């Protein structure tokens, strides 16, 4: 059965895009998620899946291991974008 308006085949194996944001910065204290200076937040990037976001998060977390106040987070953007 053809689908003239759709250029992607119905049985396409393209993975579903599940966007994730990785960002971090220095916290005011370890018991909260309040950043010391919002202008200094480090936005690492937006990734197409959790696996690639986790790799980026791990790399940044390892770079800042000597700074106890610095934390990085993964935000599941795809959950916020669902209608």
What are the tens digits of pLDDT across the range 4-58? 444 445 556 777 889 999 999 999 998 889 999 999 999 999 999 999 999 999 9
Q: Whole domain around residue 71: which residue ranges?
A: 46-83
For residue 2, pLDDT over 80 is answered with: no
Q: Let me know if residue 41 belongs to a domain.
A: no
* Mean pLDDT within 62-69: 90
Residue 10 lies in a domain: no
Residue 76 lies in a domain: yes
* Position 63 in a domain: yes
Q: Total domain count for the chain?
A: 1
Alpha-carbon distance 20 to 83, whole Å?
A: 17
State phi, psi for 57 to the nearest 5 degrees.
-60, -45
More confident residue, 71 or 81: 71
């Amino acid at each position: 059965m053809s689908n003239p308006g759709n250029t992607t085949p119905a049985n396409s194996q393209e993975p579903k895009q599940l966007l994730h944001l990785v960002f971090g910065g220095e916290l005011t204290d370890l018991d909260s998620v309040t950043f010391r200076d919002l202008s200094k937040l480090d936005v690492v990037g937006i990734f197409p899946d959790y696996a690639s976001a986790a790799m980026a998060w791990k790399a940044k977390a390892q770079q800042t291991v000597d700074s106890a106040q610095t934390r990085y987070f993964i935000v599941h953007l795809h959950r916020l974008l669902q209608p």
